[in-house]
């Protein structure tokens, strides 16, 4: 194994691959560029390649998808089956608002791309990415920042450009950038709102700013830039509610995790009763025993998936009756997390740089392949993963 790693490092030095920058705009749906004037995105696509969509893993939520992009693994292998998870072996919860859990390496399966590259002699820098704050495998990127929502977007760009353009051996070869919009505005006001349109235009201006800054440092022409998102967004309404208390007795349920993917852990001896009742009333949702979850969701292999799961139809909300009034009073206008085969859950993907085709389009593909793509660009040997380079070769020059 040591010989293989040394060989890979030697190959990297001979090939002298271009730097790679991976950028995520959270919640940027595949079709958002058609909703506003986006001259900088348009220029990026004209000089590069754009996919018809990027298919998220299920559930189509932020943490599972950003970490699958980083590792090339499906949720049952990363362990990330939701933004909120319960681990029955540890009797512990993971919540994205819990900084101690977010920074705890034990929750993160697989090998993230920054570890793969660092192990093979490359330097990496992460300006916010799920998993990069934890010392997974006892490692961190050469440069990294703890998530700070208040950090101005342009300051994030300036920092990453500084990392990429640092003198001599201190420069990073691979970096990430993360922006939390237009996801927030999509939740608040819906994907058709003027607020989302404003965030699309803001993202376009950031792409223009990034290009200018990289050109000033002679980086633009020699860097592969990948711009993507974690998931899409769909509309919500108050008349598409699935009131769980009206179907089953919550006294029979020990633990519930709510969402488009709702996980129920029935009390001992109640699993079949709860399942049969939910199945008999199945309407605008699908219900599965854990062992019968369709394989394409790549979930049932994880111990963090409960014995019964419900999957709401697009745009529907599963909730308890006593939360209904609060939900309606603060009704979010958009959300995600639904079946990843739904087109509205698909995300943005485009790429520009010396290794990508120019002025081309490509079919939609799964985001689990991005890990293999980055390894190919960097001339490194990937860790075991669920992706396939063959699925993304269409993006690359001959």
How many CB atoms sit inside 10 A of residue 275's CB? 19
Annotation marks residue 62 as catalytic: yes
Structure tokens given for 175: 């970096």
Q: Is 346 exposed, middle or buried (0-12, 13-18, 19+ CB in 10 A)?
A: buried
What is the CB-side half-sphere exposure of residue 238 using CA atoms within 13 A?
A: 9
Q: Say how far apart CA 309 and CA 292 lie, in whole Å.
A: 10
How many CB atoms sit inside 10 A of residue 141's CB? 24
DSSP bridge pairs for 309: 263, 288
Compute φ and ψ for 8, nearest 5 degrees. Answer: -65, -40
Q: Say how far apart CA 201 and CA 103 lie, in whole Å.
A: 33
Question: How distant, in Å, are the alpha carbons of 57, 95, 102 from that of 257?
Answer: 18, 11, 18
Question: How distant, in Å, are the alpha carbons of 9, 21, 228, 272, 303 from that of 317?
Answer: 50, 36, 27, 24, 25
Q: Say how far apart CA 205 and CA 180 lie, in whole Å.
A: 15
Residues 377/369, Cβ–Cβ less than 8 Å: no
Catalytic residue (one of 20, 62, 78, 271): 62
- Catalytic residue numbers, as ranges: 62
């Amino acid at each position: 194994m040591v010989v293989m790693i040394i060989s890979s490092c030697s190959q990297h030095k001979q090939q002298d691959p271009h730097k790679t920058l991976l950028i995520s705009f959270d919640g940027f749906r595949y079709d958002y560029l058609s909703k506003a004037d986006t001259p900088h995105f348009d220029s990026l696509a004209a000089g590069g390649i754009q996919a018809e969509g990027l298919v998220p893993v299920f559930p189509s939520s932020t943490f599972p998808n950003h970490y699958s992009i980083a590792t090339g693994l499906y949720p049952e292998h990363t362990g990330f089956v939701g933004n909120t998870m319960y681990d029955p072996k540890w009797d512990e919860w993971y919540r994205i608002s819990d900084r101690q859990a977010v920074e705890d390496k034990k929750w993160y399966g697989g090998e993230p791309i920054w570890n793969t590259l660092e192990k093979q002699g490359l330097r990496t820098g992460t300006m916010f990415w799920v998993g990069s704050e934890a010392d997974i495998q006892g490692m961190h990127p050469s440069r990294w920042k703890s998530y700070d929502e208040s950090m101005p977007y342009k300051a994030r760009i300036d920092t990453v450009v500084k990392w990429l353009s640092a003198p001599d051996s201190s420069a990073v070869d691979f970096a990430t950038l993360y922006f939390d919009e237009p996801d927030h505005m999509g939740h608040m006001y819906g994907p058709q709102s003027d607020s989302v349109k404003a965030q699309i235009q803001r993202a376009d201006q950031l792409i223009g700013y990034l290009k200018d800054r990289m050109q000033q440092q002679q980086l633009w022409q020699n860097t592969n830039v990948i711009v993507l998102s974690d998931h899409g967004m769909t509309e919500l309404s108050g008349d598409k509610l699935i009131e769980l208390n009206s179907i089953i007795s919550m006294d029979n349920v020990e633990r519930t995790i709510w969402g488009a993917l709702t996980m129920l852990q029935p009390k001992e001896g109640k699993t079949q009763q709860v399942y049969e009742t939910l199945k008999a009333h199945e309407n605008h949702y699908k219900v599965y025993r854990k062992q019968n979850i369709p394989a394409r969701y790549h979930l049932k292999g994880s111990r963090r998936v409960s014995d019964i799961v419900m999957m709401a139809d697009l745009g529907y909300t599963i909730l308890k009756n006593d939360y209904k009034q609060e939900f309606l009073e603060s009704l979010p206008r958009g959300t995600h997390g639904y079946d990843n085969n739904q087109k509205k859950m698909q995300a943005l993907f485009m790429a520009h740089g010396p290794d990508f085709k120019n002025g081309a389009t490509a079919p939609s593909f799964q985001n689990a392949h991005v890990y293999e793509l980055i390894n190919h660009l960097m001339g490194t040997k990937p860790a075991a993963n669920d992706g396939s380079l063959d699925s993304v070769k269409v993006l690359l020059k001959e």
